[in-house]
Structure 1
Amino acid sequence: MTTPFLVDVPDAVLADLRARIRATRWPPPAPGTPWEQGTDLDYLRELLAYWADGFDWRAVERGLNAYPQFVASVSGVEIHFVHQRAVGGGGVPLVLTHGWPSAFVEMLPLVSRLTDPGTHGLPGPAFDVVVPSLPGYGFTPRPSSPVDYRRVAALWHGLMESLGYARYGAHGGDFGAGVATWMALTAPSRMLGIHLTTPEVSPFLGDGAAPLTAAEQAYVDQHVGVWGATERGYSAIQSTKPQTVGYGLTDSPAGLAAWIVEKWRSWGDTGGDVDGRFGRDFLLTLLTVYWATGSITTSMRDYFDNRWHGAAPGPDDRVTVPTGIAVFPNEFMPEGEPPLSWSQRLYDVRRRTVFPRGGHFAAAEEPDLVAGDIAAFFASVLRAGGDA
């Protein structure tokens, strides 16, 4: 059963948020270059002052509620999602999935571009767009039992079936790319194709796999070595002890903002100016969704569940449905893109586009580029013999 949903954060929650911001106990500033040891104190003070006294959540709420939102029960999970059909009808069904530390709001800039591409000067086809909140993020609660890519993929198949779609496409970044991958691995007959903006799932590299090429080895050294040494601390914590860090992030708006915004600054193509890239109102919309729903700890469990309960692709696993890959230059870190051969180990890559700008949060950073690439990819898939 599907029921309409409106975002409506109680006044008491907002008042408590502002009171907590004003009572923040601040640490001393870090020595050295700003942001070198984490979120800059002066920046965070300014951001939180605006969150408490300038940010108009009610105006944001009205904007969010302009999107048709629903809740549907699928396998006992109450999934929150946006569902907007193509202008004029006949849209290609497409599910868009966000990752961490994000929420459904990251994908909203794509909605009108995909449902009404002509208005935005973008190529067709037009799509029926479904944007779910991952379990444990925002308005979708997380079950107490483990939730990995494969389980979410099954939930999304159930959701799309409940909406009357027999075949459909999927797009995702970060965890969303993992979900799209497992949607294709577990039920390829239902999939028109998948489109990814991040290399979330690594191919099988065990016994019998072809040796790494020089380019692949360089990518592994860069991504695992350099990035692991400078950026992976959050992942080590969240995949082992998410509950421990969750107490502080759930209790403190400053802690929550510092934890999340630093990732948006580092992983996005921001040049160090996270406000200029995303806008403070967008960042605070994201933070308020996490705060109002108390979902930061449950979102971090994605790392724990996928590490300890998830399945990696085996030697016989291969995505046989058409796959489109959009490569953005600041995916986690500059020059961290995988070579085509890396992707071809797991996917049937039909389209690979390397863009000159953009980063990990591509849907929010470069929605025209992402929407245009999605449309071009699925147009080619449909011409090659698929149907909606």
Structure 2
Amino acid sequence: MSGFSFTLNASDGRARTGVIRTPRGEIRTPAFMPVGTAGTVKAMLPESVRATGADILLGNTYHLMLRPGAERIARLGGLHRFMNWSRPILTDSGGFQVMSLSELRKLTEDGVTFASHVDGSRHFLSPETSMEIQRLLGSDIVMAFDECPALPATHARQAEAMRLSMRWAQRSRDAFGDRPGHALFGIMQGGVERDLREESAEALRGIGFDGYAIGGLAVGEGQAAMLGVLDYATELLPAGQPRYLMGVGKPDDIVGAVQRGIDMMDCVLPSRSGRTGQAWTRRGQINIKNARHADDPRPLDEDCTCPACSGYSRAYLHHVFRAGEMISGMLLTWHNLHYYQQIMQQMREAIAAGTLDAWVAGFHAMRAQGDIAPL
């Protein structure tokens, strides 16, 4: 398609590194996409998010259609201008949020009628309306509309949801039409059932998309089950197009996914954790609210160059979290996003150099050491 392309530059085992090119800029893969649910990565300025190394953000169709409304965003120049982010944006389809957040929803072949979690107002989402909302938002990468059943679910329930999602995938493709410079990704479903994943992948390949997502994971099935699906699922998708694992995850989930051939990921974890006093570091997770940090003049991570580590002590971060100061969430979110992007950059370099196995071994060995000893 015009203006959107994917180039693979190197591989190491099943891991790959490359570049997705869009009219709004390049996305280095493997890529981690910070989540800007309602037009903002919480506690961060857009230029700060970019400074962490992010090439692309994720926006949320469900939340933006309810507030402030896709038509309003379009009148104001589209989502990029609205939120002051000039680089690529991927929007999800709204399907997951409809299933997980909305009360009183009614699912039919046509789509989903649901009550807003904001004010109870009634709305309808279908493949066609999702494509139209994402067009109004102006996102660079659009996701097909799908159904995401809650797990655990029976094989029959998973099969029903997956086949409905594949019919909706065709309708999404038809409704998306020809939009040069914008890409449409299909979403593989099927839970942890290999036969359903294979059937879903075959259907998506038959329709044809600019990229392919693996959905329906990281919803409580556990890391072992998730990685078990990725052991075969990535190989079912076209090698020449981006592969996106939705909603993942913790640092070790991300590393495991990249090892299995994933190119793109997103998760609210680094920003949500930052607002609740959790910092992710090379040595694992730190809970800044713990009393052990109250008199500690050392940074979260002495080798980290983010503002939280280069300018502030654990004692200060402990204090401002306990005091409920906004700067706590700002600094910890910046640190977490910086750390996540550092992981991605190091993996890209290791894949290019053919040394990913050694990097992964070092990553796990450092985490196994745990946090530095208290003073």
Q: Give the TM-score taking structure 2 as reference length.
A: 0.27
Structure number with higher strand proportion: 2
- Superposition TM-score, scaled by structure 1 size: 0.26
